[in-house]
Amino acid sequence: MVGDAWSALILRDASRGMTQFDQFRTSLGIAPNILSRRLKSLTEAGVLEKRRYSERPPRDEYVLTEAGREFIPILAAMGEWGRRYNGGGQPMSHLVDDTTGETIHALVIDESTGRPLREMPMRLVMPAA
Amino acid sequence: MVGDAWSALILRDASRGMTQFDQFRTSLGIAPNILSRRLKSLTEAGVLEKRRYSERPPRDEYVLTEAGREFIPILAAMGEWGRRYNGGGQPMSHLVDDTTGETIHALVIDESTGRPLREMPMRLVMPAA
DNA sequence: CAGCATCCGTCGCGATACTG
DNA sequence: CAGTATCGCGACGGATGCTG
């Protein structure tokens, strides 16, 4: 779903409250036809929802669905990883808690035990063929 | 890094202990030239390491680096997401704790507060231009 | 402001054949 | 077992122009 050059960035911007076509366009510097294509595919994938917020003139906005909102932490985890292993000491964007201002470090755990997945021995179980 | 059709699947298989060219090839049904290309790019990305384990005949194996191992939980989180929002009730592969047999549910939290990122108000801070 | 239509270049994948 | 060489195709991104 985000295996292309732009979709992940669009979702990131959407999580920051961006909703309009032109906001995405100017924020990302993406060609309008490409943005249109990606917004459509993200909508069809069920992570964005197109909503008409004005009839005259007709205006649509794109907002994250629940599935889309639930995907944002994964983007955050990818960001955390990139900062650690590909940052190279350069200053990079990062997340901060909007209430305390503290830097956020994304970590993937097992929900029931609370243990980091990184240190858990696990097995992938395939469905019955 | 995994924005193509195969790299994520290769890393997944590598996390299950797969190391050899032909293991990946038969497991995934990928064309050999493509596999070669992807193994090279993943190696250059620093998530796989090529190691010679036999001199005569020359044999190499591909093993996850620390960066590669640290990426696996992110794949797990993506799998969890897909199961929830794109599974459609169909039987899918899932992770189990290898010691207890319990099903693992990946969750992204903030490391210092322990709160799920999903329910945290956050802000993306850009580096100084 | 919010797109769609068209055309075009590039890159990644797939199939096949071949090598040490 | 572990790749390389070659070819064709499709998907994606980019530029440009047009519409309501």
Minimum CA–CA partner of B97 in chain A = A122
Instruction: Measure the CA–CA gap between B63 and B74, rounded to whole angstroms.
Output: 18
Q: What is the pLDDT of residues A19-68, one digit of tens each?
A: 999 999 999 999 999 999 999 999 999 999 999 988 878 888 999 999 99
Protein CB footprint (7 Å) on chain D nucleotides: 1-6, 12-17, 20
DSSP for A54-106 reads ETTTTEEEEEE-HHHHHHHHHHHHHHHHHHHHH-TT----EEEETTT-PBP-E
Does A78 reach chain B within 8 Å, measured CB to CB?
yes
Instruction: Find the range with the poorest average confidence among B15-24, B27-36, B81-90, B119-128.
Output: B81-90
Cis peptide before B91 (omega within 30 of 0): no
Ramachandran region, residue A40 (left: φ > 0; alpha: ψ -120 to 50; beta: rest) = alpha
Query: Which residue in the set A86, A117, A128 is minimally distant from B73, CB to CB?
Result: A117
Does B44 reach chain A within 8 Å, measured CB to CB?
no
Minimum CA–CA partner of B14 in chain A = A124
Q: What is the largest CA-CA distance in chain A?
A: 58
Query: Which residue in the set A92, A110, A125 is minimally distant from B106, CB to CB?
Result: A110
What distance in Å separates residue B55's CA from the closest CA in chain A?
31
Its pTM stands at 0.95
Dig out the tokens for B51 from the structure: 């190691």
What distance in Å separates residue B34's CA from the closest CA in chain A?
17
Taking the stretch 24-53 of protein chain A, residues with Cβ within 7 Å of any atom in nucleic acid chain D are: 30-34, 37-38, 41
What's the confidence (pLDDT) of residue B57?
84
Amino acid of residue B7: S
Is the pLDDT at A129 greater than 80, yes or no?
A: no
Q: What is the pLDDT of residues A80-93, one digit of tens each?
A: 999 999 887 889 99
